[in-house]
Amino acid sequence: MTELDIDAERLLGRLRTLGEIGRDDGGKLTRLAASDTDRLGRDRVGGWMREAGLEILVDRVGNLVGLWRTGAEGAAPLMLGSHIDTVINAGIYDGCFGVLSGLEVIETLKAAGARPQRPLAVAAFTNEEGVRYAPDMLGSLAYAGGLGVAEALATVGTDGTVLGEELARIGYAGTQEPGFLRPHAYLEIHVEQGPVLEHQGIPIGAVENVQGISWQRVTIEGEANHAGTTPMRMRHDAGQAAARVVTFLRERVTRGNAPTVATVGCMTFEPNAINVVPSRASFTVDLRDPDEERLREEELALARYLDELAAAEGVTIQTERLARFAPVAFDGAVVAAIEQAATRRGLRSRRMTSGAGHDAQMIARLCPTAMIFVPSAGGISHNPREHTPAEDLVAGANVLLDVTRALCGG
Ligand code: HGY
Ligand code: MN
Ligand code: MN
């Protein structure tokens, strides 16, 4: 296979440009799914896809796809992609690196006069982050047939908006049915968002599986009372009960050496007044584990603890499931192709598990799928300090190019 390289300056420049879209007056970057800033990001990426001569296709849940109709008539496309929606106060690489690298690979092949044996597509999936609308990976889940379109569009956000209405408002309520292109294979490149590659000095991760995810919202109803006059033993303090759950989770998942992780990322009290015992606490629990059995055990242990807590504190506790995805194993042949491509470029690689959820976790239901990771500085992500050195970004994108060529004869 003749050596071909991506256009590093074009890729890095686009990452910086997209990374400026959606910053607030304080410079914080936030492009929540189907928001006005998400629209601006979509418009920018769709413009680059159009300039590259790709056909732009949008499905009913807003998944944005650029398609190069080439190769054998009727052949299933090789799909690249990720997401461009972000968390709150985000970095510029999470998701965006995957979409822009996929576009860069296609543009490089087109410019080189390559003649792939199959079409090439690059997708930006809706609402991968799940910050505004749960579950996360909603767009790719719908694309893979794991969530009905009507149900997806009826999803109510944390701000009370309805996803379908918001997609229509920003002009991305497309007409294609999710899954309209069934990929031959799917490849996603992503920053690792963890410390492993950097710590080991390895530039390429050949991701062979993604851990399972369990999201739920817990609501504790206690009794408002006077902070000064109510004896401690007479309180039904929803805030105190919530704090005990947070401590329980930390102590439970750190008691052994299992890789289970637990996070309480959102918490609100009512009436949220300095001198009122909280009557209500609402918070989210994010549990993850690469082993389905262990994940289920952790969910059950939490449920048991909530029952005990309700009795002990004299409160009522309700839970609402927000997302639940089993661990996913990727395709061994595609993982091997990633390792071979890295080796051919003289790059060390290692097989690894993804701690974060990804669209690939959903598209793996449709076709052979795998991911490429590049190192994250300090293992940091979901944080404006998220960073990956340019040489690692370019090396990763070149490996994506080579695997793409290997998979579609480009
Ligand atoms: O939550 C996740 O793992 C991903 O960032 N949506
Ligand atoms: Mn991501
Ligand atoms: Mn993310």
Q: What is the pLDDT of residues 90-132, one digit of tens each?
A: 999 999 999 999 999 999 999 999 999 999 999 999 999 999 9
The reply to whether ligand 1 has any atom less than 6 angstroms from the CB of 386 is: no
Please give the radius of gyration of the chain, using alpha carbons only, rounded to the nearest integer.
22
Reduce the DSSP state of residue 347 to 3 states and report it. coil
Q: Is 136 in the pocket of ligand 1 (CB under 6 A)?
A: yes
Pocket test for ligand 1, best of 207, 358, 381 (most atoms within 8 A of CB): 358
Cα(69) to ligand 1 centroid in Å equals 31
Question: Which atom of ligand 1 lies at the shortest distance from residue 193's CA?
Answer: 5
Of 314, 342, 367, nearest to 187 (Cα)?
367
Amino acid present at 261: V
Query: Nearest CA to 81 among 95, 69, 68?
Result: 95
Confidence of residue 30 (pLDDT cuts 50, 70, 90): very high
Check pocket membership of 58 for ligand 1, CB cut-off 6 A: no
How many Å separate Cα 172 from the centre of its chain?
19
Kindly report the backbone phi and psi dihedral angles of residue 3, in degrees, each rounded to the nearest multiple of 5, phi listed first.
Answer: -70, 135
Number of C-beta neighbours around residue 180 at 10 A = 15
Q: Which of 165, 134, 162, 161 is nearest to 147 (CA)?
A: 134
Name the pLDDT band for 48 (thresholds 50, 70, 90): very high
Over residues 389-403, the pLDDT tens digits come to 999 999 999 999 999
Atom 4 of ligand 1 has which residue's CA nearest to it?
357
What residue ranges define each of the domains in the chain, with the CATH number in brackets? 8-211+328-408 (3.40.630.10), 215-325 (3.30.70.360)
pLDDT category, 3, cuts 50, 70, 90? confident
DSSP state, residue 92 = S
**Measured in angstroms, how far is the CA atom of residue 167 from the centroid of ligand 1?**
21
Residue 225 CA to ligand 1 center (angstroms) comes to: 38
